[in-house]
Amino acid sequence: MRNVDDAVVDGFGDEWSRFDQSEVPELETQQRFEEYFGIFPWHELPPAAVGLDLGCGSGRWARLVAPRVGRLLCFDASRAAADVAKRMLAGVENAEVAVAAIDELPVPDASADFAYSLGVLHHIPDTGAALRACVRKVRPGAPFLVYLYYRFDNRPAWYQRLWQLSEVIRHTVSRSPKAIRYAVSQFFAATVYWPLSRLASVAERIGIRVESFPLAYYRNRSFYMMRTDALDRFGTRLEQRFTRAEIESMMRDAGLVDIVFSPRAPFWVAMGRRQSSRVK
């Protein structure tokens, strides 16, 4: 049985077609890239390293990774998303884009020098199995970087309850037609994301700690990014969340060792290396 939710794949194809990330300010893109890849051991990669972008979406991260490596193979389960990535990576000669689900990757096991999957595996029915499928593709000792949505295990109880309320809304909106999902998400971007993030920005400037403010992560982000993430949040039918301990357990079960977590948002970004023993 394929480990994929076709409705989710279709939804992300629609998202990346609407928001190909071409309007995100370059400085903001660089800042977000560092948030994800700050713990990645670039210096350990071999010359002309071959890597995998697993769930490439619009190709926004591949565009920044490709110049650092020899060859980058980018895969997405959505044909629409892959088409966007191909367009956005036009002229990047060492980046290749293909359509493939995580459990159907046309790559030999233990062949890649590194791989990453950012914001993808929590949208797959069996996240643990998807993680194992990814890790099988990298050689022993190679680094694997992953970002999985957190279950607010480092947030206060009231924050978690607020998220639970938003889940009720997401459950309804994400099952609506695409036009309604888009319209509602953009309404939330304008009436919730923007004012709360800007409130956090003002509070920070006057010396208040804002780490626990709702949507404070977006206080220095563009409205375009808020619009994208609002559609991601409320338009996606399947969204799983994990504690740091659960993520580490899944990573170890997938055959990763030397696991480290990024100490900053977004949570949780983690990196491990494939151990020498056979991955299950």
In angstroms, the CA 24 to CA 1 distance is 38
280 belongs to a structural domain: no
Q: Mean pLDDT over residues 143-168, rounded?
A: 94
pLDDT score at 71: 98
Residues 16 and 49 in one domain: yes
Do 143 and 161 lie in a common domain?
A: no
Tokens representing residue 246 in the block: 């659960």
Kindly state whether residue 1 falls inside one of the protein's structural domains: no
Helix (H) / strand (E) element for 11: namely: helix 6-18
The chain-wide mean pLDDT, for the chain, equals 95
pLDDT greater than 70 at residue 279: no
pLDDT digits (tens, 9 = 90+) for 43-53: 999 999 999 99
Residues 189 and 131 placed together within one structural domain of the fold: no
The answer to whether residues 127 and 246 belong to one domain is yes
Averaged over 244-265, what is the pLDDT?
Answer: 97
Q: Quote the pLDDT of residue 54.
A: 98
In a domain, 269, yes or no: yes
How far, in Å, CA of 43 to CA of 46, rounded?
8
Residue 280 has pLDDT above 50, yes or no: no
pLDDT of residue 168: 94
Number of domains in the chain: 2
Residues 14-27, mean pLDDT to the nearest whole number? 95
The DSSP code for 278 is P
Q: 186 and 102, same structural domain?
A: no
Q: What is the pLDDT of residue 173?
A: 97
pTM, to two decimals: 0.94
pLDDT band at 64 (very low <50, low <70, confident <90, very high): very high
Give the pLDDT score at 135: 98
Question: Could you give the CA distance from residue 58 to residue 13 in angstroms, rounded to a whole number?
Answer: 9
Summarised one tens digit per residue, pLDDT across range 176-217 is 999 999 999 999 999 999 999 999 999 999 999 998 899 999
**How large is the average pLDDT for residues 31-36?**
97
Question: From its phi and psi, is residue 21 left (phi > 0), alpha (psi between -120 and 50) or beta?
Answer: left
82 sits in the region (left: phi over 0; alpha: psi -120 to 50; else beta) called alpha
Q: How many residues does the chain have?
A: 280
Taking alpha carbons only, the member of 271, 272, 273, 269 closest to residue 36 is 269
Residue 81 domain boundaries: 6-151+241-274
Q: What angle do CA 142, 144, 145 make, to 5 degrees?
A: 150
Identity of the residue numbered 128: G
The reply to whether omega before 268 is within 30° of 0 (cis) is yes
Residues 197 and 91 in one domain: no
> Would you state the pLDDT for residue 277?
62
| pLDDT attached to residue 211 | 86
Instruction: Identify the pLDDT of residue 278.
Output: 52
- 216 shares its domain with 98: no
Same domain, 108 and 47: yes
pLDDT at 251 over 90: yes
d(CA 79, CA 96): 14
Taking only the tens place, the pLDDT of each residue in 77-125 is: 999 999 999 999 999 999 999 999 999 999 999 999 999 999 999 999 9
Residue written as token pair 């039918």: 237
pLDDT over 90 at 34, yes or no: yes
Domain-located, residue 231: yes
